[in-house]
Amino acid sequence: MHASPFPYSLDNKRYHTLNYHLRTVYGGKLYKAVIDCGFTCPNIDGTKGTGGCIFCDGGSGYFTDGSLSPRAQLEKEYARISAKNGDVPVIVYFQANTNTYAPAEKLREMFTSVLDYPYVRGISVGTRADCLPDDVLDLLCELNERTALTVELGMQTVHESTLTLINRCCTHEEFLIGFGKLKSRGIRTCLHIIDGLPNESREMMLETARQTAMLAPDAVKLQMLHVIRGTRLAEMYTRGEVRLLTREEYIDAVVGQLELLPPETVIERITGDGDKRKLIAPEWSADKISVLGGIDKRLAELDTWQGRLYNANKAAEK
Ligand code: SF4
């Protein structure tokens, strides 16, 4: 196997690993404390849609208890994390549903309540690009001054036909507007992409990566489409209406996408990390080690790496 020619990795990977990012920026690993503020989503409460995106189960973590205050949840999460790992630094991840979908003052109370906890090094806020009004953006700018802030946006795909099919109720154009507002304010962004959405070909997935590369996000999270118990996707899957990617197809798509993405973009996730207890399919996705190993192996076999086609891609656009 060839040695990796890729600079942003400490362990011979051929993509910009989260491990590399955390070690170079923070000097070591950061753990993730997941918080559920009990927010809903405009795509669930009827403001923009009902029922949510077809794959959505709310996105809460394994251990969160949304009935507690964010601070109490953090203390509980930290007790769990430190029992295994000692007094380690954490990022507080506001993950469940849409975490900017509330009045700015309420958001301020929630977000700032965790900032002075001794082991907190930053916060990540998961949201939709169409839920960023000016007063919320002002708050995010303020938080960005006080801590290491990342805003995580569910982009999923650039294809409008797929966005309609998955019932996101937010166009790609709206996504681009929200993303631009964060970028122009210097707020770190992490874009979520899902591979294997219904009716998407490999070329469509590569096009999503090509257009993502043009945005030069700070980070991306890649994952395959998961069928989770209780979702509308699960009903479609049971009726035989959805074909999922095989492990090999997913690896092939991810390798092609990595080649197109800028080398500086951190790959914060490269396979799924959903709740296995709720996973219906694909079963192969539960074996993360095998998927990660398969991606490394394919990158080495092809002697390729993240960003290998990025410049050519940029030139083609001009
Ligand atoms: S935007 Fe996010 S929280 Fe809202 S329905 Fe879609 S996946 Fe769920």
Structural domains of the chain, count: 1
> What is the predicted pLDDT for the residue at 316?
53
Distance from Cα 166 to the centre of ligand 1, integer Å: 10
Q: Is the CB of 99 under 6 A from ligand 1?
A: no
Q: Is residue 13 part of a domain?
A: no
> What is the predicted pLDDT for the residue at 11?
86
Q: Is residue 247 part of a domain?
A: yes
Distance from Cα 27 to the centre of ligand 1, integer Å: 33
Residue 315 pLDDT greater than 50, yes or no:
no
Least confident of 62-71, 171-180, 299-308: 62-71
Q: What is the mean pLDDT of residues 16-30?
A: 95
Atom of ligand 1 nearest to the CA of 55: 7
Q: What is the mean pLDDT of the chain?
A: 93
Residue 163 pLDDT greater than 90, yes or no:
yes
> What is the predicted pLDDT for the residue at 2?
56
Q: Is residue 8 part of a domain?
A: no
Distance from Cα 47 to the centre of ligand 1, integer Å: 13
pLDDT, tens digit (0-9, with 9 covering 90-100), for 217-273: 999 999 999 999 999 999 999 999 999 999 999 999 999 999 999 999 999 999 987
Domain containing residue 228: 18-310
Q: Is residue 9 part of a domain?
A: no
> What is the predicted pLDDT for the residue at 31?
96
Ligand 1 atom 7: the closest Cα is on which residue?
56
Q: Is residue 98 part of a domain?
A: yes
- The CA-atom distances, in angstroms, between 55 and each of 20, 50, 80, 120, 289 are 31, 13, 28, 31, 23
Pocket test of ligand 1: the residue of 168, 171, 197 to mutate, having most ligand atoms within 8 Å of its CB, is 168
Residue 126 pLDDT greater than 90, yes or no:
yes
Share of the chain above pLDDT 90, in %: 88
Name the most confidently modeled range: 19-23, 64-68, 310-314: 19-23
Residue 139 pLDDT greater than 70, yes or no:
yes
Residue 131 pLDDT greater than 50, yes or no:
yes
> What is the predicted pLDDT for the residue at 9?
85
Question: Any idea what the CATH number is for the domain that residue 82 is in?
Answer: 3.20.20.70
Residue 63 pLDDT greater than 70, yes or no:
no
276 — pLDDT class (breaks 50, 70, 90):
confident
Q: Is residue 10 part of a domain?
A: no
Q: Is residue 318 part of a domain?
A: no
pLDDT, tens digit (0-9, with 9 covering 90-100), for 198-216: 999 999 999 999 999 999 9
Q: Is residue 6 part of a domain?
A: no
> What is the predicted pLDDT for the residue at 1?
52
